[in-house]
């Protein structure tokens, strides 16, 4: 019988090997071309890595949340763009696990967990980013259907995904007026804007989404009417550690490259690792990397244990790990000097990829407010 520790190691080792053999060699090309890494996503699906933490009855592997975090970390370490598909899939699957009906889970969650299709989660609008309760997209009841109208921005995988979960407003009540709906690609009135040209994670497609009189049946409501905000808060508790794991992978890649570089690069007749400043910097980087690792996996464990401090640790993990990723990737560029600034070396890509982890899933400034609320209220 396989123990939990053995299962975790097996899944991490599998993800690490796949990422190292298949994703890392093409990461620079994917970044340069700005195209979806469909071949990478196919490999993830074939190996059951989209739904490591999803119950087997819904197409997942049935492992724990720790294993899912480790998959995201290893994939992000090799190719951040590919890891975005994992984190977005987790975001899309979360409300199905939390509030989905049996029929919704069987119809949609299974396809998402196996990687048969991609999913997208539509929250952000021009006036509603960190303020999720500020969404203006409306859902108006019409008999046995709802009519959706609105405009979403910065939606990951938009146009590529087959399944969408949209955050809408069903009443004027600020938080109690939020409701989630499932919309399938091809539904009349659902259209997409041009692909955004981004600074980093360029192999992840981001587009605007337009909903014009999109008609969906009541059966496509996730949770009850007005329950969307409560569901979202629970969703974010799950997905913020995932962004933390992504940041951890990017930071780890930067650290490894910088460490190897200073052991080989020669200046003034000796390798850089013999200079005290370089040795101190690499030590500081490693301390921060491992501290971030402890916090990310602690948040995952608390989530699994349904600990009362999940919101606190979830926000801390996302905030700290992403700050560390930005700091370590910048340090790596500095350690490489001029070489760090040119595209022949990967550290400038690591730095560009790291920045988004401080922004999406709630900016780090919002995380600080959440942390303060959890500590003081």
Residue of 315, 324, 326, 328 lying closest to 364 (CA atoms): 315
Q: Which of 227, 327, 361, 374 is catalytic?
A: 361
Q: Which residues contact 354 (CB under 8 A, 6 or more apart)?
A: 80, 200, 247, 250, 251, 254, 322, 325, 326, 328, 329
- As a whole number of Å, the end-to-end CA separation of the chain is 45
Is the CB of residue 298 less than 8 Å from the CB of residue 317? yes
Distance CA 338, CA 321 (A): 26
Query: Is 361 a catalytic site residue?
Result: yes
Cα–Cα dist 107/110, whole Å? 7
**SS3 at position 362:** coil
DSSP letters, 108-172, are IIHHHHHTSS-EEEE--BTTBSS-GGG---EEEEETTEEEEEEEEEEEETTTT-SEEEEEEESSS
> Could you give the C-alpha distances from 164 to 93, 203, 221, 283, in angstroms and in order?
10, 20, 12, 44
Collapse the DSSP code of 52 into the 3-class scheme (helix H, G, I; strand E, B; otherwise coil) and give the result. coil
What phi and psi values does residue 281 have, to the nearest 5 degrees? -65, -45
Distance CA 64, CA 23 (A): 24
Largest CA distance in the chain: 80
Query: How many Å separate Cα 159 from the centre of its chain?
Result: 18
Q: Which residues are catalytic?
A: 361
């Amino acid at each position: 019988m396989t123990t939990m520790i053995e299962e975790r190691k097996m899944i991490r080792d599998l993800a690490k090997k796949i990422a190292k053999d298949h994703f890392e060699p093409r990461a620079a090309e994917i970044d340069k071309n700005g195209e979806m890494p469909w071949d990478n996503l196919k490999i993830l699906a074939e190996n059951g890595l989209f739904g490591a933490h999803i119950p087997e009855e819904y197409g997942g592997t049935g492992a724990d949340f720790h294993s899912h975090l480790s998959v995201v970390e290893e994939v992000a370490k090799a190719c951040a763009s590919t890891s975005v598909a994992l984190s977005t899939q987790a975001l899309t699957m979360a409300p199905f696990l939390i509030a989905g009906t049996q029929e919704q889970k069987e119809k949609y969650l299974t396809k998402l967990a196996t990687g048969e299709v991609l999913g997208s989660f539509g929250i952000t609008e021009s006036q509603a980013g960190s303020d999720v309760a500020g969404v203006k997209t409306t859902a108006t009841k019409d008999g046995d259907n709802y009519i959706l109208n609105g405009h979403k921005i910065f939606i990951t995988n938009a146009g590529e995904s087959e399944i969408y979960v949209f955050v809408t407003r069903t009443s004027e009540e600020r938080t109690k007026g939020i409701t989630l709906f499932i919309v399938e690609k091809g539904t009349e009135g659902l259209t997409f804007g041009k692909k955004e040209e981004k600074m980093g994670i360029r192999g992840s497609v981001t587009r605007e989404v337009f909903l014009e009189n999109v008609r969906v049946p009541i059966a496509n409501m996730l949770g009850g009417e007005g329950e969307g905000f409560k569901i979202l808060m629970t969703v974010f508790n799950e997905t913020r550690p995932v962004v933390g794991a992504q940041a951890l992978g990017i930071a780890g890649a930067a650290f490894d490259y910088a460490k190897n570089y200073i052991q080989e690069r020669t200046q003034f007749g000796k390798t850089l690792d013999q200079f005290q400043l370089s040795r101190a910097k690499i030590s500081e980087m490693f301390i921060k990397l491992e501290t971030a690792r402890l916090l990310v996996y602690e948040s995952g464990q608390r989530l699994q244990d349904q600990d009362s401090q999940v919101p606190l640790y979830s926000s801390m993990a996302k905030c700290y790990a992403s700050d560390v990723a930005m700091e370590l990737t910048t340090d790596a560029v500095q350690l490489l000097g001029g070489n760090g600034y040119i595209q022949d070396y990967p550290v400038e890509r690591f730095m560009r990829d790291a920045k988004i982890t401080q922004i999406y899933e709630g900016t780090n400034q919002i995380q600080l407010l959440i942390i303060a609320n959890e500590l003081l209220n």
